[in-house]
Chain A
Amino acid sequence: MEKTGAEILLQTLREEGVDVIFGYPGANSLPIHDSLNNSPIRHYLVRHEQAAAHAADGYARATGKVGVCMGTSGPGATNLVTGIATAYMDSTPMVVLTGQVTTELLGSDAFQETDIIGITLPITKHSYLVSDPGEVESTVKQAFEIARSGRPGPVLIDLPRNVMAAKCEQSGVKNIAMPKKRHAGNKKNGEELQRIATYMNRSERPVILIGGGVKLSQACEELAGLIEKGNIPFVSTMMGIGSVYTLNGFNLGFIGTHGNELANRIVHDSDFILTIGARFSDRSTAIVKEFAPLATIAQVDIDPSSIGKVITADISLVCDIREALTKLTPLVERKERSGWLKRIEKERNALGKDRSMKECGPAGAFIRDVQTAMPEKTIAITDVGLNQIWTVRSWEAKTPRGMITPGGLGTMGFGLPAAMGVKIAVPDHGVVVFTGDGGFFMNIQELATISYYNLPVKIVVFNNGHLGMIRQMQDLFYGARFTDIELGDKVDIVAVARGFGIQADKVSVENSGAGIEKMCSADGPFLLEVVVDPDTYVFPIIPPGMSNIDMIGGRQG
């Protein structure tokens, strides 16, 4: 039977397990929206395409499935760009659909034409321009395969309007042909695994460094098994937080600029680091030449380009993480490591057990109170800024997907739309987003989406009247010469929220119990504005150009 390109598109999306698309229509995507009428796929109409991309990203991070977003050609497509870049940096599996002008107009500067493939080349894993309805099915299948395989990432499919409207006989593609990599697979993997095990067994002060790749490859249980067997303490990057929750005694926190002092210090002292699914971003390593000066470094990653990019790994293994861990654990010996673990405990006590609370001050205490008041199965989403650091330090992610943060690109405005995507993906989970006033204003229009669909998302806006994190930098590193960071207090955020049809309340961070109670017991969405003193910073912090143990506000010496 003959079908239109759009019908084949939607049918193939269904076959790939898609149930939700976040999008915004326009003339050049209309054939697709028209066919959505007859598809079981639900389309959520956001209020700005950037939000569609972040929502799809949140959906993917909450489920591990491929998130799907869609915009029309031209401005619709360019509005998606920040969301695509965010997904690319954090390796989120995502398929981005863009409408495009008809094929005969391509390249003519037609109305609402942009070369979105060209624009997104460096921020997509791959992209396709579909020029024939007969190619739709195989292209979509390839796109999903690419988005979720290896190191996941966003794949863009550009869909000219006439190709979507044209009819063709659906061929029923069975297997999809993709260019085959020569020299794929490393024959020496067995030897490298053995070397890693040997180093681990021999080392006196080993640490495991967990990156975002562990969640992405769903290897959390395998990793917990290895940690338990070898009695190995672990740290994580910001993206790796929550990968291993149950073995809390071994958890030293996360490393880097805004990381936990204990984690940074122990990494510095270690003699062997097994790095799993982390790419040594500059936010994690601080100054590279002083990172873990005493340690032999082993690195396991599915993506060869992550290995040795920033830090030279003494041993490297390109492999699916779950597979690597499954093979590695039997080779690692059970060890007491009592000396090393005692030393770490001593350090932990010296730094103060309640340190993390003091570090984040009343904001940290507030976040912990919210966690207590929310259901056990709650996912926290952060925006970017001080609010993000407060949250990742204070919220205890109890499942691998229990906390979602845009670590790689640091995109302000991510939180609110991502939280919508999370709620739609896992409606039986509690969903709370923590954002600053700056980031909140960046995608404030999504309050309308949340209100329209009545998505019971809890929205916490920390209002310090400033771009807090930038204020801290100006304060510490620019001689307290404050410029261009004041947002002021003219906006009545509670009234704005109510104007959008969302219940809201305002509390101070020190006196927030009643507000939290109200937010958590409310049916439907609720916004809690939390007034915070602009001097509430994050300490300790590593200044630019310093090493991981030179933390301002950390222990001296």
Chain B
Amino acid sequence: MEMRERIIAILVSNKPGVLSRVTGVFGRLGYNIESLCVAETISPEVSRITSITNANSDFIEKVKKQLNRLVDVMDVTELIPGQSAQREMILIGIDLDQKDRTEIVRSIGMFDCKIISMRSNYCIIQVAGSREEVETVINFLRPFGIDKVARTGVLALRYKDRSS
């Protein structure tokens, strides 16, 4: 069976302790969570959890069934690439010397990036995009000396046809 990244979206009650119940299910089944995004939805009493796990296909069925046993879980769906929009945002901190500074400012224009802080010796760049786009920017900036990276993890929403 094929191991690959599986994205799962989980709608839960926005209450204390719910996240640990949800992540506990992954842990008990022996799966690692590669990334996790949690925030309230348009209804403040509901939170959306988006998680990525590297797993076989039987993972989806197992984790769905176990998650659905939790009282506070309202919905579990797999988000399949090609049928959903997937985005990630990262902040990259870079130590600068003068030469880099102009180089970075110039070349960053090629990407969908924003410099959100620029000090004499340090800058923070915001990148938002697909997983691949974000990786490309990281690889490009690596030679400049990346100090820190903070990633949101992937967010995803399923495309909706008029019929569905």
Q: Give residues in A with beta carbon < 8 Å to B.
A: 117-118, 121-122, 125-126, 129, 146, 178-183, 303-305, 307-309
Contact = CB atoms under 8 A, between A and B. Distances in A.
B27 to A, nearest CB: 10
A117 B24 contact: no
Contacts of A180: 74
Contacts of A309: 62, 65
B31 to A, nearest CB: 15
8 contacts: A122-B24, A125-B69, A126-B70, A179-B72, A180-B74, A181-B68, A181-B75, A307-B65
Given A122-B28, A129-B17, A308-B61, A181 B69 contact: no
Contacts of B16: 129
Closest 5 pairs (CB-CB, A-B): A305-B65, A182-B75, A126-B71, A179-B13, A179-B74
B11 interface: yes
Nearest to A117: B17
B65 A178 contact: no
A181 to B, nearest CB: 6
A181 B28 contact: no
Contact of B71 (A125, A129, A304, A307): A125
Nearest to B18: A179
Contacts of B72: 126, 179
Nearest to A122: B28
B17 A303 contact: no
A304 B20 CA distance: 22
Contacts of A117: 17
Given A122-B28, A181-B74, A305-B65, 18 more contacts: A118-B20, A121-B20, A125-B71, A126-B70, A179-B12, A179-B13, A179-B72, A179-B73, A179-B74, A180-B74, A181-B68, A181-B75, A182-B11, A182-B75, A305-B68, A307-B65, A308-B61, A309-B65
A121 B72 CA distance: 13
A303 B17 CA distance: 23
Nearest to B25: A122
Interface in B109-159: none
Given A180-B74, A182-B75, A304 B21 contact: no
B63 to A, nearest CB: 10
Contact of A179 (B21, B28, B61, B71): B71
Nearest to A150: B69
A412 B55 CA distance: 38
Contact of A121 (B21, B65, B68, B75): B21
Contacts, number: 42
Nearest to B65: A305
B66 interface: yes
Interface of B: 11-13, 16-17, 20-21, 24, 28, 61-62, 65-66, 68-75
A129 B15 CA distance: 11
Nearest to A306: B65
Contacts of A303: 69
A183 B12 CA distance: 14
A118 B74 CA distance: 21
A13 B136 CA distance: 60
A182 B71 contact: no
A307 B69 CA distance: 13
Contacts of A183: 75
Contacts of A129: 16-17
Contact of A304 (B13, B17, B65): B65
A179 B28 CA distance: 23
Nearest to A126: B71
A195 to B, nearest CB: 20
Contacts of A126: 70-72
Nearest to A181: B74
Given A121-B24, A122-B28, A182-B11, A146 B17 contact: no
Contacts of B74: 179-182
B71 A178 contact: yes
Instruction: Identify which of B12, B28, B61, B65 gathers the most chain A CB atoms within 10 Å of its CB.
Output: B65
Contacts of B69: 125, 303, 305
B108 to A, nearest CB: 42
Contacts of A121: 20-21, 24
A303 B70 CA distance: 12
A396 B28 CA distance: 38
Instruction: Identify which of A121, A179, A180, A307 gathers the most chain B CB atoms within 10 Å of its CB.
Output: A179
Nearest to A146: B71
A467 B84 CA distance: 58
Contacts of A179: 12-13, 71-74
A182 B76 CA distance: 9
